[in-house]
Amino acid sequence: MDHIKAAARIFNFGAGPATMPVEVLEKAKWELVNWHEAGMSVMEMSHRGKEFVAIAAEAEASLRELLAIPAGYRVLFLQGGASMHFAGVPMNLLRGKTKADYVNTGEWSKKAIAEAKKFCEVNVAASSEDKNFTYVPKQSTWKLSKDAAYVHYCSNETIGGLEFQWTPDTGSVPLVADMSSHILSRPLDVSKYGLIYAGAQKNIGPAGLVVVIARDDLLGQALPTTPTVLDYKKMADADSMVNTPPTFSLYLAGLTFKWLLERGGLAAVEKVNIAKANRLYDYIDGQDFYSNPIAKEDRSRMNVPFRLRDEKLDAKFLEGAEARGLSQLKGHRSVGGMRASIYNAMPPEGVEALVEYMQEFARANG
């Protein structure tokens, strides 16, 4: 495998598992067989040994620094994918109440709603299904209930390519967000949230890890039937180690957090992300061979779906893209067309190469 060099890496536009920073992969490769003279790899360490406990503590400290997480919030490193926490959220946050408010802006919202219905009454406070999830409903139209245990929304709809560019205000009712596909892409005011959760495989690292950031006072009232490993309070009190955490994924997430800090933190990372997204959307808006259906002010900086004027050209477009090392551009099966996911780890050169290819393809086939 000596011939597989970083220089030969493709630009991977997949939505998740997604591209990771090459510097992180190189560092992990360097440390793989013998981590810091421990004589073993991170994968082989006891999660209770001093080496791994330090790795986990450092990952948490880096994440706290990146997001400026206030005291009074617990950081959990859990498993089960974001999908597991569609159930984990109501199990932990109903706190004796029987109702929760959900905002429906796309496929991931719908899945969260379906799961929550197993545990409580769900009030869909707002929805953009009437226009095929192409916009974010303004807060003034939301019908929040007074007795909701929390308000849940998906702040970046990975499949539809829809992102909240603002933070909802739910007063004293805790705000809960699935941030799987845009966490760490921009600064965030954690204090506005009761709970934030995110699967790692979009913008953090390898699959198998879920980050949960929860306000401490909301924890400790889980439904009695909650599995121990899904009980956020028990997990918080055990430093996420009631059982074996996904150790290697957590180690890689820690390297990614460090990588983001080295690049100047989230304000600096956001600037790059805005420039990448603008490059792609500006090109799409400036011609009529490709189109994006999302209301301009609600477009995702991370996931950019687009259609070709003639969908009979889709296969040819994808084939030509692959031949140039522009990979995984096929849109989600529920939406069709194309989707370019341009997470933190996608360098601007990748977006530039994509736009160049799109221009050439449109010229040759338009």
Ligand X SMILES: *Cc1c(COP(=O)(O)O)cnc(C)c1O
Catalytic residue list? 108, 178, 202
Give the residue carrying structure tokens 């845009």. 182
199 binds ligand X (CB under 6 A): yes
- Chosen residue from 62, 127, 158, 247 binding ligand X by CB under 6 A: 158
208: left (phi > 0), else alpha (psi -120 to 50), else beta?
left
* Interface region with ligand X, contact rule CB under 6 A, candidates 75-83, 160-168, 241-249, 265-273: 75-83
293 binds ligand X (CB under 6 A): no
* Interface region with ligand X, contact rule CB under 6 A, candidates 80-88, 161-169, 187-195, 276-284: 80-88
115 binds ligand X (CB under 6 A): no
Rounded-to-integer distance, Cα 155 and Cα 136, Å: 10
- Chosen residue from 108, 248, 259, 317 binding ligand X by CB under 6 A: 108
Q: Are 329 and 338 in contact (CB under 8 A)?
A: yes
Binding track, positions 2-21, relative to ligand X; x by CB under 6 A: --------------x-----
163 binds ligand X (CB under 6 A): no
Q: Are 339 and 330 in contact (CB under 8 A)?
A: yes
* Token pair listed for 235: 């997990």
The burial of 207, by beta-carbon neighbours within 10 Å (0-12 exposed, 13-18 middle, 19 or more buried), is given as middle
> Applying CB under 6 A, what is the total number of residues that bind ligand X?
12
83 binds ligand X (CB under 6 A): yes
Identity of the residue, 55 or 154, whose beta carbon is nearer to ligand X in the bound complex? 154
Closest approach, Cβ 164 to ligand X, in A, equals 12
73-78 vs 210-215, strand pairing mode: antiparallel
How many C-beta atoms surround the C-beta of residue 240 within 10 A?
Answer: 24
81 binds ligand X (CB under 6 A): yes
Rounded-to-integer distance, Cα 266 and Cα 64, Å: 12
Helix, strand or coil for residue 32? helix
Identity of the residue, 108 or 259, whose beta carbon is nearer to ligand X in the bound complex? 108
Which residues bind to ligand X, rule: CB under 6 A?
A: 16, 81-83, 108, 154, 158, 178, 180-181, 199, 202
